[in-house]
């Protein structure tokens, strides 16, 4: 399945049919998103898995964990 | 327009409130000045969607009477302000054709607090559609223009709030910030733009863009004015699940203390390689100024632009998609095409991606907190790495910025939650405004204001305004 087909299929899960105008924007943006996944995976590799698993589930980003910094 | 009226229109809140308290000037006179400027200039600037002519004058008369009786409420009493049109108050369109008929049943919490402090609400200011659909000449509403150069836009998404202050049509105006929508227009227009710590200001009644990134806050002319507005806004709201139940300090407590010996940490890894040299040249002078004021400048390791973008935009758009998906499905034709495409793109972000980004943002947050504990008192970096504001666009750039270099440095503090303020620091060689950000530990806005004010008072930028 190429990127265009993937975009159409993923939006179909939400009962949305993109126009050709929409697809012209969405397909390259979807391919950029796949590249960003690698960036994030590399970020997590800079920490040990143990530490990564200890990260709080992050949202709201500060207040759930503010006790550590006060 | 007489120069005295011009001076009045571009006063700081700090100066104007002192005159109101001393009864040298009446809130009615101040409000009439604002309304006459809006009548004259708004057709060129397009900053306001709705102006409450009669209501705000009535409120001004009431404020005048209260002050005359000795019931002065504080520095916002009798001060006219604008409100971004995503805050619920009367007709609230969010800049969208889809909400042209929507009328809020009650004021949102932030507006109630501002009114309680005595502010006078002039009207509802323009916004990018739902705070993100970028305006262009093809949009259903006219894009907001910069008073500095009417061929340019005012930045966004809080474009009307910035545009109103820049044209002397408000003393402060509320914006909202999910990736930089307060600090970016503030940079474009030589204003101060404030985003307090996540949870400091209630978002209840403000139309969400992305729940975990949204921050309400003011644009204003000076650091102290920003602190005064935050003073009115801050406080716990048990009905906002993100609200933080923490003490509210006096945000002006350290404003006039010097900063000798304080450590300023530069997030150079984020901007050094990507920042436009014309912007960097002006920013570097601001760093030098801090050095001359006695601060110690250190470098703090940070993520780069690829990591920032990989966390911010998919998180933002997937949360926005969750909010808008039903409307997009049922009446997507009422949205601007680029707004609709942003939402569709958010639906392409997988669950695993979102969780990966959540882990990474926690990692960045922890790193910045460690630096602020160990290496420095505040963080500093440019607001954006490109010149702005751009000329008013013929059409929206759409999703083109995704995957390309987009050197906006504001989102890092949206996804970590740290308080951050944009401070103007002059003009580049093309005459375009440049600004920088100061960020501090969570809930330490007092130190952030102190450091920002120290620079502001050493330079003339906050006294300048467009000649309009």
Query: CB–CB of A40 and B199 under 8 A?
Result: no
Is B274 among the residues known to form the active site?
no
Q: What confidence tens digit (pLDDT) does each residue in B95-141 have? A: 999 999 999 999 999 999 999 999 999 999 999 999 987 788 888 88
φ and ψ of B249, to 5 deg? -80, 175
Q: What is the pLDDT of residue B55?
A: 98
Token code pair at residue B232 = 């009115």
Is B302 among the residues known to form the active site?
no
Sign, CA torsion B356/B360/B365/B366: positive
Q: Which of B344, B354, B373, B406 to mutate to test the interface with A (most CBs of A within 10 A)?
A: B344
Q: Distance (Å, rounded) from C-alpha B199 to C-alpha B259?
A: 27
Is some CB atom of chain B closer than 8 A to the CB atom of A53?
no
Whole-number percent of chain B with pLDDT over 90? 89
Helix axes B13-21, B223-233, angle to 10 degrees: 70
- pLDDT of residue B277 exceeding 80, the answer is yes
Fold category of B3-463 in CATH: Amidase signature (AS) enzymes (3.90.1300)
Q: pLDDT band for A67, please (50, 70, 90 cuts).
A: low
What residues form DSSP beta bridges with B80? B120
CA nearest neighbour of B195 among B205, B186, B204: B186
At a CB cut-off of 8 Å and minimum separation 6, what does B52 contact? B90, B121, B122, B123
Is some CB atom of chain B closer than 8 A to the CB atom of A17?
no
Q: Which of A49, A62, A67, A70 to mutate to test the interface with B (most CBs of B within 10 A)?
A: A62
User: Coil, strand, or helix at residue B176?
Assistant: strand
Q: pLDDT band for B2, please (50, 70, 90 cuts).
A: very low
Please report the beta strands in B196-300, taking only residues with DSSP state E, as ranges in sequence order.
215-220, 263-266, 296-299
Minimal-distance CA residue of chain A relative to B415: A61
Contacts of A62 in chain B (CB under 8 A): 197-199, 244, 365, 416-418, 442
Whole-number percent of chain B with pLDDT over 70? 99
Q: Which of A26, A35, A57, A61 to mutate to test the interface with B (most CBs of B within 10 A)?
A: A61
Minimal-distance CA residue of chain B relative to A27: B345
Query: CB–CB of A16 and B328 under 8 A?
Result: yes
Q: Is B273 exposed, middle or buried (0-12, 13-18, 19+ CB in 10 A)?
A: exposed
Q: What confidence tens digit (pLDDT) does each residue in B57-71 have? A: 999 999 999 999 999
Token code pair at residue A18 = 């993109």
- Please check whether residue B49 is in contact with residue B123, taking contact to mean a CB–CB distance below 8 angstroms: yes
User: Prior bond to A60 cis, omega within 30?
Assistant: yes
Q: For chain B, which residues make up each domain, given as ranges? A: 3-463
- Among residues B119, B139, B158, B181, the one annotated as catalytic is B181
- pLDDT of residue B38 exceeding 60, the answer is yes
Residue B282 vs residue A47, higher pLDDT: B282
Is some CB atom of chain B closer than 8 A to the CB atom of A25?
yes
- pLDDT of residue A58 exceeding 50, the answer is no
> How many pairs of residues across A and B have Cβ atoms under 8 Å apart?
142
Say which of A32, A37, A44 has its CB closest to residue B359: A44
Minimal-distance CA residue of chain B relative to A15: B329
Residue A59 vs residue B133, higher pLDDT: B133
Q: What is the pLDDT of residue B4?
A: 85
User: Span B428-449, mean pLDDT?
Assistant: 97
Q: How many domains does chain A have?
A: 1
Q: How far is A2 from chain B (nearest CA, A)?
A: 14
Contacts of A69 in chain B (CB under 8 A): 369, 373, 441-442
CA nearest neighbour of B224 among B464, B465, B467, B448: B448
Query: CB–CB of A61 and B365 under 8 A?
Result: yes
Residue B176's alpha-carbon distances to B172, B203, B357, B424, in angstroms, are: 13, 9, 22, 19
Contacts of A48 in chain B (CB under 8 A): none
Say which of B212, B329, B341 has its CB closest to residue A22: B341
Token code pair at residue B304 = 């780069």
Q: Distance (Å, rounded) from C-alpha B40 to C-alpha A70?
A: 50
- pLDDT of residue B1 exceeding 60, the answer is no
Q: What is the pLDDT of residue B137?
A: 86
Q: What is the pLDDT of residue B362?
A: 85
Q: pLDDT band for A66, please (50, 70, 90 cuts).
A: low
Q: Is B163 exposed, middle or buried (0-12, 13-18, 19+ CB in 10 A)?
A: buried
Please spell the DSSP secondary structure of B272-324, one letter per residue: TTTS-HHHHHHHHHHHHHHHHTTPEEEE-----HHHHHHHHHHHHHHHHHHHH
- Please check whether residue B131 is in contact with residue B93, taking contact to mean a CB–CB distance below 8 angstroms: no
- Please check whether residue B171 is in contact with residue B225, taking contact to mean a CB–CB distance below 8 angstroms: yes
Instruction: Say how far residue B107 (Cα) sits from the centre of its chain.
Output: 20
Which residue in this structure is represented by tokens 């997009």?
B328
Query: CB–CB of B365 and A62 under 8 A?
Result: yes
Q: How far is A3 from chain B (nearest CA, A)?
A: 11
User: Span B328-339, mean pLDDT?
Assistant: 90
Q: What is the pLDDT of residue A49?
A: 52
Q: What is the pLDDT of residue B218?
A: 98
Q: pLDDT band for A59, please (50, 70, 90 cuts).
A: very low
Q: Distance (Å, rounded) from C-alpha B465 to C-alpha B468?
A: 9
Say which of B337, B341, B347 has its CB closest to residue A10: B347
Residue B43's alpha-carbon distances to A23, B141, B210, in angstroms, are: 36, 12, 32
Other CB atoms within 10 Å distance of the CB of residue B406: 19
Other CB atoms within 10 Å distance of the CB of residue B288: 11
User: Span A9-26, mean pLDDT?
Assistant: 95
User: For residue B349, is it left (φ>0), alpha (ψ between -120 and 50) or beta?
Assistant: beta
User: Coil, strand, or helix at residue B336?
Assistant: coil
Domain that holds residue A15: 3-69
Is B17 among the residues known to form the active site?
no
- pLDDT of residue A61 exceeding 60, the answer is no
- Please check whether residue A8 is in contact with residue A30, taking contact to mean a CB–CB distance below 8 angstroms: no
Q: Which of A28, A63, A65 to mutate to test the interface with B (most CBs of B within 10 A)?
A: A63
Q: pLDDT band for A48, please (50, 70, 90 cuts).
A: low
- pLDDT of residue B227 exceeding 50, the answer is yes
Least confident among B92-101, B282-291, B330-339, B397-406:
B397-406
Residue A58 vs residue B236, higher pLDDT: B236
Which residue in this structure is represented by tokens 């309009």?
B468
Query: CB–CB of B311 and A18 under 8 A?
Result: no
ipTM of the complex: 0.88
Please spell the DSSP secondary structure of B359-409, one letter per residue: HHHHHHHHHHHHHHHHT-SEEEEESBSS--SPBPPSS--GGGGTTS---B-
Q: Distance (Å, rounded) from C-alpha B242 to C-alpha B296?
A: 35
Contacts of B360 in chain A (CB under 8 A): 40, 43-44
Please spell the DSSP secondary structure of A15-39, one letter per residue: T----HHHHHHHHHHHHHHHHHHHH
- pLDDT of residue B50 exceeding 60, the answer is yes
Query: CB–CB of B415 and A61 under 8 A?
Result: yes
Q: What confidence tens digit (pLDDT) does each residue in B442-452 have? A: 999 999 999 99
């Amino acid at each position: 399945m190429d990127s265009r087909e993937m975009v159409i299929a993923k939006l179909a899960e939400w009962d949305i049919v993109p126009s050709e105008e929409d697809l012209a924007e969405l397909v390259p943006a979807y391919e950029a998103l796949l590249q960003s996944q690698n960036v994030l995976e590399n970020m997590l590799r800079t920490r040990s898995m143990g530490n990564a698993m200890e990260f709080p589930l992050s949202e709201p980003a500060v207040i759930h964990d503010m006790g550590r910094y006060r | 327009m007489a120069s005295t009226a011009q001076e009045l229109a571009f006063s700081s809140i700090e100066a104007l409130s002192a005159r109101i308290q001393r009864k040298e000037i009446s809130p009615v006179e101040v409000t009439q000045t604002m309304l006459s400027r809006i009548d004259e200039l708004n057709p060129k600037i397009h900053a306001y969607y709705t102006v409450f002519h009669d209501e705000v004058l009535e409120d001004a008369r009431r404020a005048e009477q209260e002050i005359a009786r000795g019931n002065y409420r504080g520095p916002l009493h009798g001060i006219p302000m604008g409100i971004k049109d995503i805050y619920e108050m009367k007709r609230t369109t969010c800049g969208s054709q889809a909400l042209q008929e929507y009328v809020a049943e009650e004021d949102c919490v932030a507006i109630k607090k501002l009114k309680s402090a005595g502010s006078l609400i002039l009207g509802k200011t323009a916004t990018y559609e739902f705070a993100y659909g970028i305006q262009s000449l093809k949009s259903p509403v006219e894009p907001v223009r910069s008073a500095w150069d009417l061929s340019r836009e005012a930045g966004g998404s809080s474009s009307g709030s910035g545009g109103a202050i820049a044209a002397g049509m408000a003393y402060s105006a509320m914006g909202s910030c999910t990736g930089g929508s307060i600090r970016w227009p503030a940079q474009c227009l030589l204003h101060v733009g404030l985003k307090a710590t996540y949870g400091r200001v209630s978002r209840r009644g403000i139309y969400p863009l992305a729940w975990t990134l949204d921050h309400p806050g003011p644009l204003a002319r000076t650091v102290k004015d920003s602190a005064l507005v935050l003073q009115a806004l801050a406080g716990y709201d048990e009905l906002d699940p993100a609200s933080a139940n923490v003490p509210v300090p006096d945000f002006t407590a350290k404003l006039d203390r010097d900063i000798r010996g304080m450590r300023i940490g530069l997030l150079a890894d984020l901007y050094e390689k990507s920042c436009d040299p014309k912007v960097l040249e002006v920013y570097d002078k601001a760093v030098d100024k801090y050095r001359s004021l006695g601060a110690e400048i250190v470098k703090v390791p940070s993520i780069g632009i690829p990591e920032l973008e990989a966390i911010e935009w998919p998180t933002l758009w997937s949360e926005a998609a969750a909010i808008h998906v039903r409307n997009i499905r049922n009446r997507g034709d009422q949205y601007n095409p680029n707004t609709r495409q942003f939402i569709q793109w958010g639906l392409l972000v997988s669950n695993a991606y979102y969780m990966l980004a959540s882990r990474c943002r926690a990692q960045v947050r922890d790193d910045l907190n460690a630096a602020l504990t160990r290496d420095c008192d505040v963080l500093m970096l440019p607001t954006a790495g490109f010149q702005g504001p751009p000329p008013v666009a013929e059409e929206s750039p759409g999703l083109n910025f995704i995957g390309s270099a987009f050197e906006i440095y504001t989102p890092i503090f949206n996804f970590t939650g740290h308080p951050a303020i944009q401070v103007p620091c002059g003009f580049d060689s093309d005459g375009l405004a440049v600004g920088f950000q100061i960020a501090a530990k969570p809930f330490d806005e007092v130190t952030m204001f102190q450091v920002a004010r120290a620079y502001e008072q050493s330079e003339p930028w906050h006294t300048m305004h467009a000649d309009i």
